[in-house]
Amino acid sequence: MNTLQDIRYAFRMLLKRRGFTVIVVLTLALGIGANTTIFSAIDAVLLNPLPYKDPERLVVIWETNKQLGPEMWDRNEAAIGNFLDWRSHNQIFDQLGALFDTSMNLTGVGEPQRIRSFVVTSNFFQVLGVQPMLGRSFLPESETPGSSFTVIISHELWQRQFGSDPSLINKSLTLNGHQVEVIGVMPPGFKLQFPISTQVDMWVPMVIDVADPDYHDRGNNFLYTLGRLKPGVSQEQAQTEMNLIASQLQQQYPETNAEKGVRVVALHKQVVGNVESYLYMLFAAVAFSC
């Protein structure tokens, strides 16, 4: 009974001091709202797994270069010559893929458009463990010079530009003035998390001509590299083997690779980066202030 009386008394006092009551309510609302917002961010960024198959097996592979400054020496894109050697010499990855960003001019379908795109190795979607919702992924021969031009598009572009037409598969689009066959449509909501979290509307296969001297260039760094570790292989084991491969390349190509190494980073860690500590600090500050 005393508790009920105390509640009634407190309620009457709040009614008498309405200005104070408004301040208390607003303070509580702001505190609860801030905590909810920060926790939602923590849940979305830190706690939820990446939307890929077995995301704990996904890693980013950076090229390191001691000749560069402290800000960039340990996170450089890979030279294609080095990437090709990483891919052919390693024993620790189920898949090792690469990508770089570009854009495509889409014409012949309404107004001409500039489409955000990525050029990817043919196994890129196997690396992520994600397959198109419609159609198929790229075939290994997509990397071969002279193979037919193909493209995979996002679900969003498929809806926006093509009215969700399922018959678009195996039809041709005009990209950069060339006829390109649409072979797949990605699932709704699919987006890249690396190198940045972004919406991409087209993926085209990387054509690798090993007879072209440019593809043995070890000084032009432009490839972002992702790997899927074999089951049971740890990040530390991957780092050890990639260090060995990098050491072999240093001896084989001293003019370009003398100071170059490799750094293996878990994809989740790469995506979260420094945000993790900042979010937890912000959550603690908001909770303490309440």
Residues in the chain: 290
Identify whether residues 19 and 86 lie together within a single domain: no
Identify whether residues 92 and 127 lie together within a single domain: yes
Residue 287 included in any domain: no
Residue 152 included in any domain: yes
Identify whether residues 93 and 235 lie together within a single domain: yes
CB 223 within 8 A of CB 79: yes
Identify whether residues 71 and 38 lie together within a single domain: no
Residue 153 included in any domain: yes
Domain limits for position 20: 2-48
Identify whether residues 103 and 168 lie together within a single domain: yes
pLDDT of 19: 57
Residue 173 included in any domain: yes
Residue 283 included in any domain: no
d(CA 158, CA 196): 22
Instruction: Name which of 93, 99, 193, 195 is nearest 152 in CA terms.
Output: 99
**Residue 66, φ and ψ in degrees, nearest 5:** -65, -15
Identify whether residues 67 and 180 lie together within a single domain: yes
Identify whether residues 84 and 171 lie together within a single domain: yes
DSSP 189-246: T--B-SSS-B---EEEEPP--TTSGGGG-SS-EEEEEEEEEPTT--HHHHHHHHHHHH
Residue 281 included in any domain: no
Residue 174 included in any domain: yes
Residue 216 included in any domain: yes
d(CA 159, CA 133): 13
Identify whether residues 40 and 141 lie together within a single domain: no
pLDDT of 20: 53
Residues 6+ apart with CB under 8 A from 48: none
| Residue tagged 């740890």 (tokens) | 234
d(CA 216, CA 117): 24
pLDDT of 157: 96
Instruction: Name which of 103, 78, 89, 54 is nearest 233 in CA terms.
Output: 54
d(CA 40, CA 25): 22
Largest pairwise CA distance in the chain:
90
**Residue 32, φ and ψ in degrees, nearest 5:** -65, -45
Q: How far is CA 238 from CA 157, 171, 233, 241, 244, in A?
A: 37, 41, 7, 5, 10
Identify whether residues 164 and 218 lie together within a single domain: yes
Identify whether residues 92 and 221 lie together within a single domain: yes
- Each of the 290 residues of the chain gets a pLDDT tens digit; together they read 566 665 565 556 555 665 555 555 555 444 555 444 444 434 444 446 688 999 999 999 999 998 888 778 889 999 999 999 999 999 999 999 999 999 999 998 888 999 999 999 999 999 999 999 999 999 999 999 999 999 999 999 999 999 999 999 999 999 999 999 999 999 999 988 888 888 899 999 999 988 888 777 898 899 999 999 999 999 999 999 999 999 999 999 999 999 999 999 999 999 887 445 444 444 454 445 55
Identify whether residues 27 and 121 lie together within a single domain: no
pLDDT of 10: 55
User: What tokens does 87 get?
Assistant: 């891919």
Residues 6+ apart with CB under 8 A from 144: 207, 208
Count of structural domains, the chain: 2
DSSP 131-151: --SEE----GGGGSTTPPPEE
Identify whether residues 44 and 59 lie together within a single domain: no
